[in-house]
Structure 1
Amino acid sequence: MQEIFIKGMTYGWDRKRGDYRTEEAIDSLKKLKETGSEWIALSFYTYQETYCSTEIFFDYNHTMTDRDIIFAVERAKELGLKVCLKPVVNSRDRIWRARIGFPDEAEDKWQAWFQSYRHFLNHYAELAEELECDMFTIGCEMVATEHRVSDWKQVIAEVREHYHGPIIYNANHGKEEGVAWFNHVDYIGTSAYYPVADKPGESVEVMKENWQPVKEKLLKLHEKFNKPIVFVEIGCRSAKGCATMPWDFEHVDLPVDQDEQANFYQSVLEVFWKEPWFGGFFWWDWSTELYPKKAAASNCGFDIYGKKAEAVVRNFYLNK
């Protein structure tokens, strides 16, 4: 399989049905393309009721319809963007999906959940095949399930019956070594929300130093499985202190700090860009409905539209 380098963005997260099919979403996708991005991870989710439920269901009030997905993929391809289709399962009780799972002795529940998960995933694998998507994500941060090696191998085998392109699994930062079955996917993915700042307002150089042990660890993972490493999610908010906790979305009271976000972006790009075993980035994230550009100065979210971090990405994506 031909190796690739992904200059990408996550697009479409936390939207409800219909939101991909708006003029604002189309305009947003065009602006995403202007950053030099060549890929999107089209990321959407459905639910199970609690973290210990065994049934994954289609929420007719929320979940993206196939019509929505077809529309978004077709618009992206018209712009020359490659698409990684990324269906995700969330728990309606708001417990992080990494906790989804059961005690080891509850074998009947494990088998019921994996059967429901395979049904969920196979539907979108078939859709990804029909739409000629360029990559397919088989899971995102499902940490408590990852020790079920034979079950995940069955998931992968069934997905490959429906989708014949490259597949990737999205592990969580710090948990990558817990996935023993990475040899069965084509690309090793991770949500690389590594806290590389020692304090708020940290410099690029300190962040680069703190990326070094992460790079060494991921290189060993690559050497073990001989698969490229992709940051399927990476980024931090433009708020002071967020490079110390890049995953954070809750501390909305933190003051805006575009420099800290830009430094985080600059540091990871400089450290990983030229590594031959590294497969690229899907930054988190680019919204379907962007704020007015003049509002970028007061926005403390993950979006980089109109911010200093966007200039950093443009420089690498368009000039490197």
Structure 2
Amino acid sequence: MTYGWNSSRGAYRQPYALDSLRKLKETGSEWIALAFYTLQPNIYSTDIPFDYGRTMTDRDIEYAVKQAHALGLKVCLKPVVNSADGIWRAHIGFPEEEGAEPYWDAWFRSYANFLCHYAELAEELGCEMFCIGCEMVSTEKKTAHWTAVIERVRQAYGGPITYNANHGKEEGVDWFDRVDLIGTSAYYPIANKPGDSEEAMNRNWLPVKDKLARLHARFGKPIAFLEIGCRSALGCATMPWDFSHTELPASEEEQANFYGSVLKTFWEEPWFAGFFWWDWSVRLYPPEEAKTNTGFDIYGKKAESVLKEWYAKPR
């Protein structure tokens, strides 16, 4: 499960957060991706600042990691850079021309400093994996820069590292040989229509599975879905990434079919490493609100029952 995303500073240390983490553990999940972000001013900024009013503190992160470990959960620490102008981080970058190279150099220098701070923290806290980036699509072509970033991170952190590509863009990352595990945000639109059946979704996952199998063969690395999920709203399996269409009616069934289809498709693949479901909130809604909740959370919903059934299977 992804845990902690979009939480306010100090939220990890609240009683409701520990209650949420215990309920997450009850799903049978073995890992959390502790995901948090800082903001650079805009997509063309070359400096990534620590925001003393917003960014999660090291004390927050330390508390969450220790609580997760106490519950027997492993932790992938996942620091993310977003853009304060509201533009998706996939567009962070600069033109591909000679005059822009100093800007690329400056941004990657700042990004490496940002990452290495958290890589050191991940090492100190015994985090079992470290994620070096999420959906940074416009930067991925800068292979030499990413190689240098990875070398710096490995000096600070001794565990396995991963990178979270975006669905449909995985084949454009030429430096996946440098990470230990290939990650992707697998928000593939695998329903043909709102309310589609699990069987139809199963069929639509097959070409995705074939493509990812080729990616595995190319790099020889296991592949995990660093993000995967679908809101419990009608039509969201046609656009699993969606969070903006708040007018859609609730549909536990569509979310459950999405979960069931992806679990069935990838569970037995030897090259597939697992799922980090998006997402599990630090503050959960009351269980009686599960039927009307249209978010990504699965707490108290049919998709939670699907997941528990699969996670209870012997391996």
Give the TM-score, by structure 1 length. 0.97
Q: Secondary structure at the match of 1:57?
A: coil
Counterpart CA distance in 1 for 2:102 and 2:19 is 47
2:271 aligned with 1:274, yes or no?
no
1:200-244 residue CA offsets vs partner (Å, 9 max, x unmatched): 000001000000000000000000000000000000100000000
How far apart are the structure 2 equivalents of 1:210 and 1:156?
34
Matched position secondary structure for 1:189:
strand
Secondary structure, in 3 states, of the residue corresponding to 2:62?
helix
| Alignment of 1:35 onto 2:23 | no
Q: Distance in 2 between matches of 1:34 and 1:258?
A: 19
Q: AA paired with 2:127?
A: C
1-side partners of 2:110 and 2:96: how far apart? 18
Aligned counterpart in structure 1 of residue 127 of structure 2, from 133, 145, 148: 133
Question: Where in structure 2 are the equivalents of 1:183-194 lying within 5 Å?
Answer: 183-194=177-188
Q: Unpaired segments of 5 or more residues in structure 1?
A: 1-8
RMSD over aligned Cα, in angstroms? 0.5
3-state SS in 1 of match to 2:273: strand
Partner residue, 1:145: 139
Q: Give unpaired runs (5+ residues) of structure 2.
A: none
Deviations 1:127-174 (A, max 9, x none): 000001000000000000000000000010000000000000000000
1:248 matched residue in structure 2: 242
Q: CA offset at residue 111 of structure 1?
A: 0.4
Q: Name the aligned partner's letter for residue 298 of structure 2.
A: I
Indicate the SS of the match to 2:86: coil
Question: What residue number does 2:151 align with?
Answer: 157
1:205 pairs, out of 199, 214, 220, with 199
Aligned residue in 1 for 2:39: 47
Matched residue of 2:278: which SS?
strand
SS of residue matched to 1:287: coil
CA distance in 1, matches of 2:51, 2:290: 33
Q: Which amino acid aligns with 2:164?
A: N
- The TM-score, its normalising length taken from structure 2, stands at 0.99
Which residue identity lines up with residue 30 of structure 1 in the other structure? R
Paired residues, what number?
312
2:2 to 10, 15, 20: 10
Partners of 2:90 and 2:80 lie apart in 1 by: 11
Structure 1 residue 319 displacement after superposition: 2.4
* Aligned residue type for 2:206: Q
User: In structure 1, what is the Cα distance between the partners aligned to 2:293 and 2:51?
Assistant: 30
